């Protein structure tokens, strides 16, 4: 059974917030990449991909806010600078060059699939440490969201 916030030790809160900070950094990098592609996509599929990327970065934007608020819920300041996000993210930032629309879709797909793996590991770590159920729920929801976005990207890439 998972602990509630009031039942958590300082060590449990620290480890939970570390996981949340990693998730926040990863989400922010993916949000930025998706927004970049929304702005810079070109070609025959411009209109469809422009709208598609927008729908995905809007979902990511909501998740970023939710993660940051959970960090605050545990009494810690939420990381909020690009330097902090780059330092802690497990995903890697784009070089700044945008490729073809196909390359954009494939790049986002790879990142979503990486996040799915990271989040599965994070959920397992929190379960082992009997972490807070509300954070397990958040991460499980993020896992499902990234699974759906990956499926949509995979279908778009075909």
Domain with residue 86: its CATH number is 1.20.1260.10
Report if residue 94 sits inside a domain: yes
Report if residue 153 sits inside a domain: yes
Report if residue 20 sits inside a domain: yes
Domain of residue 44 covers 8-157
Q: How confident is the model at residue 156 (pLDDT cuts 50, 70, 90)?
A: very high
Q: Which burial class, exposed, middle or buried, applies to 158 when counting CB atoms under 10 A from its CB (0-12, 13-18, 19+)?
A: exposed
Eight-state DSSP code of residue 43: S
Q: How confident is the model at residue 3 (pLDDT cuts 50, 70, 90)?
A: low
User: Taking 80 as the threshold, does the pLDDT of residue 143 lie above it?
Assistant: yes
Report if residue 34 sits inside a domain: yes
Global pTM value: 0.92
Residue range 86-139, pLDDT digits in tens: 999 999 988 777 789 999 999 999 999 999 999 999 999 999 888 899 999 999
Q: pLDDT value at position 123? A: 96
Q: Which residues contact 75 (CB under 8 A, 6 or more apart)?
A: 13
Report if residue 1 sits inside a domain: no
Q: Are the beta carbons of 135 and 13 closer than 8 angstroms? A: no
User: Taking 70 as the threshold, does the pLDDT of residue 6 lie above it?
Assistant: no
Q: Alpha-carbon distance 51 to 32, whole Å?
A: 16
Secondary-structure breakdown of the chain: helix, strand, coil percentages, each rounded to the nearest 5: 75, 0, 25
Q: pLDDT value at position 4? A: 52
Q: pLDDT value at position 95? A: 76
Q: CA-CA distances (angstroms) from residue 152 to 64, 66, 67, 85, 149? A: 20, 23, 23, 26, 5
Report if residue 2 sits inside a domain: no
Q: Are the beta carbons of 69 and 114 closer than 8 angstroms? A: no
Helix (H, G, I), strand (E, B) or coil at 121: helix
Report if residue 55 sits inside a domain: yes
Q: pLDDT value at position 5? A: 57
Q: How confident is the model at residue 1 (pLDDT cuts 50, 70, 90)?
A: very low
Q: Are the beta carbons of 63 and 145 closer than 8 angstroms? A: yes
The domain tally of the chain equals 1
Residue range 11-69, pLDDT digits in tens: 889 999 999 999 999 999 999 999 999 999 999 999 999 999 999 999 999 999 999 99
Mark 23-38 as b/e (b = at least 16 C-beta within 10 Å): bbbbbbbbbbbbbbbb
Report if residue 3 sits inside a domain: no
């Amino acid at each position: 059974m998972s602990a509630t916030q009031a039942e958590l030790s300082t060590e449990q809160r620290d480890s939970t917030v570390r996981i949340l900070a990693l998730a926040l950094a990863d989400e922010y990098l993916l949000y930025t990449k998706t927004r970049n592609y929304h702005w810079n996509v070109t070609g025959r599929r411009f209109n469809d991909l422009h709208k598609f990327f927008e729908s995905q970065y809007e979902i990511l934007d909501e998740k970023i806010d939710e993660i940051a608020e959970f960090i605050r819920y545990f009494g810690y300041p939420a990381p909020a600078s690009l330097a902090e996000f780059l330092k802690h993210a497990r995903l890697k930032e784009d070089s700044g060059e945008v490729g073809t629309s196909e390359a954009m879709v494939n790049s986002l797909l790879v990142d979503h699939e990486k996040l799915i793996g990271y989040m599965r590991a994070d959920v397992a770590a929190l379960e082992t440490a009997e972490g807070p159920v509300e954070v397990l729920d958040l991460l499980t929801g993020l896992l499902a969201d990234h699974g759906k976005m990956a499926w949509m990207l995979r279908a778009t890439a075909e």
